[in-house]
Amino acid sequence: MERIVALLRDFGVSISKRQVVRILTGKIDAFVAEAKQVLRAGLASARWVSVDDTGARHGAVNRVCTQTAMTGSPCSRPPSRSAG
């Protein structure tokens, strides 16, 4: 966040870190909805899809990040347990 604030200030914009956070997160629902629509359209029209599940530990909890070839947006969900 500091880099964004510094860049804006270099351009002469008087802005606080808190203002930048509010701008970036204030109306995120529209961006999330659009990202989901793009993913659905890509999945519906793609001839193949590449998927990667990567494990990670955050806050003492095991999580899994799933990425497809059409989106780089990570998610954090508990890992599925294999039956084997």
Q: Answer yes or no: are the C-beta atoms of 18 and 42 closer than 8 Å.
A: no
Q: What is the pLDDT of residues 1-20, one digit of tens each?
A: 889 999 999 999 999 999 99
Considering only residues 21 and 74, tell me which one the structure prediction assigns the higher pLDDT. Answer: 21
Q: Answer yes or no: are the C-beta atoms of 65 and 53 closer than 8 Å.
A: yes
Q: What is the pLDDT of residues 39-69, one digit of tens each?
A: 888 888 877 777 777 787 878 888 877 766 6
Q: What is the CA radius of gyration of the chain?
A: 18
User: Packing angle between helix 17-25 and helix 2-10, nearest 10 degrees?
Assistant: 110
